[in-house]
Amino acid sequence: MTDALALTRALTAVDTVGHAETAALEVVAPLLREAGFRLEVFEHEPGRGTLVAEWETGHDVPPLCLSGHVDTVPLGGAPWQRDPFAGETDGDRVYGRGVSDMKAGVAAIVTAAVAVARSRPRRSGLRLVLTAAEETGSQGARFVADRLGPSGPLVITEPTANVAFHGHKGALWLEAHASGVTAHGSMPHLGDNAVVKLAAAVTRLAEYRFGVEPHPVMGPPTLNVGTFAGGLNTNSVPDRAVATVDVRTVAGQDHAALLAELASVAGVEVRPLIDLPPVWTDPGDEWAASAAEIVRDVTGAGGEVATATYFTDASVLTPALGGVPTLICGPGQPEQAHVTDEWCSITRLAESVEILKRICAAWCGI
């Protein structure tokens, strides 16, 4: 029987800070292969693999899809009190980089899937998509998206403390450029100041009003100017400046139309860095409602509808799978993502395995 905590610790021991996801997938691959899954690994860069595992049952109903990423963010500059790659435990906590975001979630997926695959389904099978490079824009999910066949609903085990999230805002990250003409700083009239141009442009963007109603759960869309750089020395007119802008969108907004409008408002060159649409599943959807009820039954939590503040691979996978109903629900603590001495509750991990087993059993007909 697969031990979710031991599997979390084994995954944590593999340093996947922007590399080596294939090595982490080698930890789970033997368990899935032994359970009867057909496995394929697709590398978008050498060593950076995304695993697609199919439990094919011969039924016509498309499989339930479970997904999580195995890459992590860097450790940060502050010293850790715990070894970030040891998976140390202390009371109800397991520590390490990525345990909440989201190697415990991946371990829960694999543990539940292996357990379910011991049964004889009457209705459908399972598909696991364990991705690389989610943290930098879902490159792994993008690389396999067009290789995935018809699918049932999607569950992503990003950190939610086992609360069922019905989606998340979209992320449209932009880079704005302004060009000018350099000249001596004592004769600015001979130049064309790119910093001044771009400062005016980002001020217009900061004052932009979206003209859409706040989403009843996600809230309003937002725009934040995150970085600004220009010029090389004080005594020259700068001929180049660049800024980055973080736009978070809500369900119903079209990114292509919004990008065109923001470029017009800015009046300078604007190009997308990350373009991940929002994800939203109506709580009244039959499958989503039944899955959320399973979550509440296992955790004893209330029924308030919520969405994530962060983006996930659902931005890529949900549309690629045909706009399937999607829930985000995993054992990690949302506020532990990316922090020093990151931890995940061992109790939440066990709950997550039970939640996933029940959701899988209900879909597969077990």
Name the residue ranges covered by the structural domains of the chain: 4-169+278-364, 170-276
**Pick from 134, 146, 148: which is nearest to 65 by CA?**
148
2 has pLDDT over 80: no
Give the per-residue pLDDT at 309.
87
| Per-chain mean pLDDT for the chain | 97
Give the per-residue pLDDT at 301.
87
DSSP letter (8 states) at residue 80: P
% residues pLDDT > 70 (the chain): 100
Encoded tokens for 271: 């190009």
**Residue labelled with tokens 């000249």:** 183
Residues 6+ apart with CB under 8 A from 156: 66, 67, 68, 312, 313, 314, 317, 326, 327, 328, 329, 330
DSSP letter (8 states) at residue 56: -
Encoded tokens for 9: 């610790």
Task: State which H helix or E strand residue 136 sits in.
Answer: none
Distance between CA 146 and CA 321 in Å, rounded?
9
Q: What is the CATH architecture of 170-276?
A: 2-Layer Sandwich (3.30)
Give the per-residue pLDDT at 223.
97
pTM of the model as a whole = 0.93
**Average pLDDT of the segment spanning 62-67:** 98
Distance between CA 337 and CA 335 in Å, rounded?
6
Contact 331, 298 (CB under 8 A): no
- 4-169+278-364, superfamily in CATH? Zn peptidases (3.40.630.10)
Give the per-residue pLDDT at 1.
59
Distance between CA 364 and CA 120 in Å, rounded?
9
pLDDT tens digit sequence for 259-293: 999 999 999 999 999 999 999 999 999 999 999 99
pLDDT tens digit sequence for 88-109: 999 999 999 999 999 999 999 9
**Residue labelled with tokens 């069922």:** 164
